[in-house]
Amino acid sequence: MLRLCSFLAVLVGLVVGTAIDEAPARPVEMRAGYRVLQADFHVHTRFSDGLLTPCDLSVLARRRGLDVIAVTEHNTVFPALLARACAKLIDAAPLVIIGEEITTKRAHVLGLGIHSTVDARMPLADAVLAVHRQGGVVIAAHPTEMFYAGLDPICEELDGIEIMHPLAFRGESPIGSYAEIEAFARDRCPSAGAMLGNSDYHGGSVLGLVRTFVFATDLSEPALIDAIREGRTLTFDPDGNAIGPPALAESLRAEPLATRDVHYDYRPLGALDRITRLIGFFGVVGLVMFGLGGRRRATSSAT
C-alpha cells in the first residue's frame, strides 16, 4: 500500500511538473539593425564533469529563455554533436553551437563553431590555428591569473574574452578571482575582440545566469560566429552595467529588450506547483523507504 502511494505520488509530481514546466517567450527583437540573441557559450555535460546529458540541455536552455547555447565539453566535440541531434527532436529548442573547451594545464580556451575535435595535447597556438582553420572562433575562458602565462602568447589570436563568469557573483574560486579576469581584459589583452558572458554550466539551475547578447544578422551558426568575430556582443556585470561596444549598449538602453521571465531560485510558480513538487519529492522518498517491489519473501526473523 505504501509502495503504491509512493509510486502514485511520483506520478502526480511528474505529470503536473511536466505540464507546468513553462518556457518564457523568445520574441524576435531587432536593435541597431541586428537581431539580438541571448546565448550561453560555455556549457558542460555528463560526459566529463557536468550533471546533465546533452539531450537535457536544450530543454533547460529553453526554460532559461536562451536562443543559443554552445556545448563546450572538455577536449571533445562529441557531446555537442549529440546535443545538436537531440535539439532537432525538441520543440522550440535553442540553436546548439558545436564547441569544445580546449582544457590544458596552462589555459582554457573555447573553440566555437567547429565540427571536429581539436586535440588539446598540441601546443595552444596550434590548437588556436586548428579552430580558425575549421572556421571557428577562439575565446579565452575565465582568464584568471593561473592562465595568464598560457594566454599571453596567443592574445593576438583571440577572438574574444569570457569577461563575465559566475566568478563575478562569487568573487573567488579555486581557479582565481573575478578581479583577475577584469585585469586580463584591461591590461594584458585589451585587443581581444568580443566580450562574452557565460555560465560555465556544470549543473543546477544556473544555465544562462551569465549570458551574452549577440547582435547577429539571423539565428544561424555562421551569423553568430561572424558576430563574435566582429565583436558584436554585449554582456552585463552583476550590477547591470553593459560590457561591450557602447553603441550596442546604447541601443539596448534606448529600447530595452522584453523581459524573459526566468527563475534561478527554485521558486514555485504557484500553489499547485508548490504542492505537487513536494508530493513528487515525498513520493521518491517513499520509493526509497519502501522499495520498488515486494520481490523478497519475508521470514519470521526479518524485522
Partner 1 sequence: MVRDFFSDEVRVLIRPVKGYVRLMEAPLASPERAVLSRVLLLLAVIGAAGSFSSAGRLVLHHMVFVPVGWLALPLLQAAGLFVSLRFTDKPPPQLRALELYLAGNGPFFLFALGLSAVLLLASDVSATFGWLLASGLLVAFGFFTMGWSWLTSYGFYKSCAGCRPGKAARLVVLEWAVKIGLALVWYQTINNLLPQFVGTR
Quote the CA–CA distance of 231 and 139 in Å, as a whole number. 12
Q: Which stretch binds partner 1 (CB under 8 A): 181-189, 226-234, 247-255, 264-272?
A: 264-272
Nearer to partner 1, 8 or 28 (CB): 8
Q: Is 119 in the site for partner 1 (CB under 8 A)?
A: yes
Closest approach, Cβ 68 to partner 1, in A, equals 19
Quote the CA–CA distance of 16 and 277 in Å, as a whole number. 8
Closest approach, Cβ 128 to partner 1, in A, equals 12
Quote the CA–CA distance of 259 and 26 in Å, as a whole number. 9
Q: Is 56 in the site for partner 1 (CB under 8 A)?
A: yes
**Nearest alpha carbon to residue 217 among 208, 226, 209:** 226
Q: Is 55 in the site for partner 1 (CB under 8 A)?
A: yes
Q: How far is CA 142 from the centre of its chain?
A: 14
**Nearest alpha carbon to residue 44 among 237, 221, 198:** 198
Closest approach, Cβ 102 to partner 1, in A, equals 8
- Cβ atoms of residues 112 and 72 within 8 Å: yes
Q: Is 204 in the site for partner 1 (CB under 8 A)?
A: yes
Q: Is 89 in the site for partner 1 (CB under 8 A)?
A: no
- The length of the chain is 303
Phi, psi torsion values for 234, nearest 5 degrees:
-135, 150
| Site residues (vs partner 1, CB under 8 A) | 10, 13-14, 16-18, 20-21, 45-48, 51-53, 55-56, 59-60, 63, 74-76, 78, 103-106, 117, 119-124, 203-205, 207, 263-268, 273, 276-278, 280-281, 284-285, 287-293, 295-303
